[in-house]
């Protein structure tokens, strides 16, 4: 594999976003050396709630969710 390019330092997140939107990351990162990591202390971004809905509406929502593979 050819030598990887050095990733520059960015002053802002917008600058970094613009940089990566115009470039191929495989020229900067060797993904074959990636390792699996776990983040056990992250909080889930979803929270369960309970709401009362008519059964007919629940059935319609289930059908829509199934169609959208949710």
Tens digit of pLDDT at every position of the chain (70 positions): 579 999 999 999 999 999 999 999 999 999 999 999 998 888 878 888 999 999 999 999 999 999 998 7
pLDDT for position 1: 54
The span from the CA of 4 to the CA of 48, in Å, is: 45
Angstrom distances, CA of residue 22 to CA of 2, 18, 25, 26, 66: 20, 7, 9, 12, 36
pLDDT for position 47: 81
Contact 54, 62 (CB under 8 A): no
Phi-psi group of 31: left, alpha or beta (phi > 0 → left; psi -120 to 50 → alpha; rest → beta): alpha
How remote is the C-alpha of 10 from its chain's centroid?
A: 21
pLDDT for position 24: 94
Q: Where are the domains of the chain?
A: 13-68
């Amino acid at each position: 594999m050819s030598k990887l390019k050095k990733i520059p330092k960015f002053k802002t997140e917008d600058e970094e976003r613009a940089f990566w939107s115009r470039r191929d990351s495989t020229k900067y990162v060797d993904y074959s050396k990636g390792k699996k990591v776990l983040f056990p202390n992250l909080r889930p971004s979803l929270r369960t709630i309970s709401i009362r809905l008519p059964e007919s509406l629940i059935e319609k929502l289930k059908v829509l969710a199934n169609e959208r593979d949710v």
